[in-house]
Amino acid sequence: MITIPFIHLTNKIMVAIIKTNMRHGEFSDKFLQRNSRKTAERQWADMEESDMMDDRIVLSLLVDNTAGVLARVAGLFSRRGYNIESLTVGVTADPRYSRMTVVSLGDQTVLEQIKNQLDKLEDVRDIKELKPDRSVYRELMMIKVRANAQDRQAVSAISNIFRATIVDVGRDSLTVMLTGDQSKLDALINLLEDYEILELARTGLTGLERGSEDIRYLP
């Protein structure tokens, strides 16, 4: 999985950030209690273990921009028993076509089966597997957290560590927006769970291959 280097802070760096901000009065006691070194070590270890076991299949599909194409692709996965972890779709630079990014789970055998089935659909013009070492993945998340006046500073401090943006402030809540890969988003969720997550929305993964060597041009 491609991971933004910032998210893989070592525990020493994490603790250093907390201590530095503590000296400047930017972290509340509640934040320090909730984010002890032991807690940070467990969260990062769990996240790295999850990444190592990751068996996701990420496919980029170029499809005709016509009514019903999304239902046909999703229906194919459903009929064959393939689970869709996420699916995003949007029009390309050429309005005749749309690009779908489909994330599923499985091994190489499942991948080949999915490709063979998708290739039978007339709407599908091109199929690519987005491999982690040759692609860029991103996902957007908005998360609304209960935060009174005393908690806002701590939530803001956590958001800053992840380079997230606070897009809305309510009397008793904050809404944070973050863009990154799945592990980065999951790590922020883990740290904000103590503050009661009121609502959460994720776009699902989207991505492109690096470079320009394997671009298909359609007539």
Domains of the chain, start order: 5-51+136-202 (3.30.70.1150), 57-129 (3.30.70.260)
User: Residue 130: which of 189, 50, 34, 208 has the closest Cα?
Assistant: 208
Q: Is the pLDDT of residue 122 over 80?
A: yes
Distance CA 176, CA 164 (A): 7
Q: Is the pLDDT of residue 9 over 80?
A: no
Indicate whether this model's pTM tops 0.85.
no
Tokens for 54, please give them: 């990751």
Q: What is the DSSP letter of 175?
A: E
For the segment 16-42, the average pLDDT, to the nearest whole number, is: 46
Q: What is the mean pLDDT of the chain?
A: 79
Residue in the structure block whose two tokens are 């929305």: 201
pLDDT band at 71 (very low <50, low <70, confident <90, very high): very high
Distance CA 134, CA 209 (A): 6
Q: Is the pLDDT of residue 28 over 50?
A: no
Exposure string for 103-130, b = 16+ CB within 10 A, e = fewer: bbeeeeebeeebeebbeebebbeebbeb
Backbone angles phi, psi at 6, to 5 degrees: -60, -35
- Over pLDDT 70: what percentage of the chain? 74
For residue 34, the one-letter residue type is R
Residue 26 pLDDT: 44
Q: Is the pLDDT of residue 34 over 50?
A: yes
Q: What is the DSSP letter of 25?
A: T
For the segment 182-199, the average pLDDT, to the nearest whole number, is: 93
Residue 197 pLDDT: 95
Residue in the structure block whose two tokens are 């699902």: 204
Tokens for 82, please give them: 């393939």
Least confident stretch, 50-54, 107-111, 115-119: 50-54
37-52 and 11-23 helices, crossing angle to 10°: 140
Residue 156 pLDDT: 93
Q: Is 63 in contact with 124 (CB distance < 8 Å)?
A: yes
